[in-house]
A and B are shown apart, each in its own frame.
Chain A
């Protein structure tokens, strides 16, 4: 009975990982590739590790498997969110058939914050240049 459960769980996990691999090769766009990645990472990995926990039937192994599953479930969406935002800020183009781009004119978005930060840094650089000019003018000897 346990053998059948292990076989079914490992098969589901392997199939999810294979679907993710096919998706990451065939998808037309960076963002759709990203969406495929996260689902496979959580669901496929979870099934395989639960199969390992069922096989060993020990307290240590079950704890380790649950810890790995919990960690992956928390961290992989965060990593996907971060890399997606950075790709959008860096100017990765959407697919040509994309219907809606919600990040375009959003004042609360990460892009707007980045633009504000860039403006602040530009202002600071301009002030530093002015200060250097003042110093140079002071150093000039007056005749």
Chain B
């Protein structure tokens, strides 16, 4: 069994299952902070997904996209926490 078929038939289904579970928490989360950390983990999983896909597609250019996604994950979490704090203080 070579690397590509192993990644396609074993690793990718595991990652898809994890993505579905995180999506359940993202839709169900009782408070908004739960949704924020679910979104953060979802983007992080997207970075891993792109890393596996760059091996499958034998294309190294996808790693640039992974780097930008990692940046966006950090920025979105910090911005969400900032605005949650501001909205609580104005109540």
Q: Which residues of A contact B (CB under 8 A)?
A: 3, 6-7, 10-11, 13-15, 17-18, 20-22, 24-25, 30, 33-34, 37, 40-41, 44-45, 48-49, 51-52, 55-56, 58, 60-61, 64-65, 67-68, 71-72, 75-76, 78-80, 82-83, 85-87, 89-90, 92, 118
Closest 4 CB pairs of A and B: A21-B18, A21-B21, A79-B77, A75-B74
Q: Which residues of B contact A (CB under 8 A)?
A: 2-3, 6-7, 10-11, 14-15, 17-19, 21-22, 24-25, 31, 33-34, 36-38, 40-41, 44-45, 47-48, 51-52, 54-55, 60, 63-64, 66-67, 70-71, 73-74, 77-78, 80-81, 84-85, 88-89
Q: Are A15 and B14 in contact (CB under 8 A)?
A: yes
Chain A residues with Cβ under 8 A from B85's Cβ?
Answer: 86, 89-90
Q: Are B21 and A24 in contact (CB under 8 A)?
A: yes
Q: Are B60 and A61 in contact (CB under 8 A)?
A: yes
Tell me the total A-B contact number using a CB cutoff of 8 A: 152
Q: Are A89 and B71 in contact (CB under 8 A)?
A: no
Q: Are B71 and A71 in contact (CB under 8 A)?
A: yes
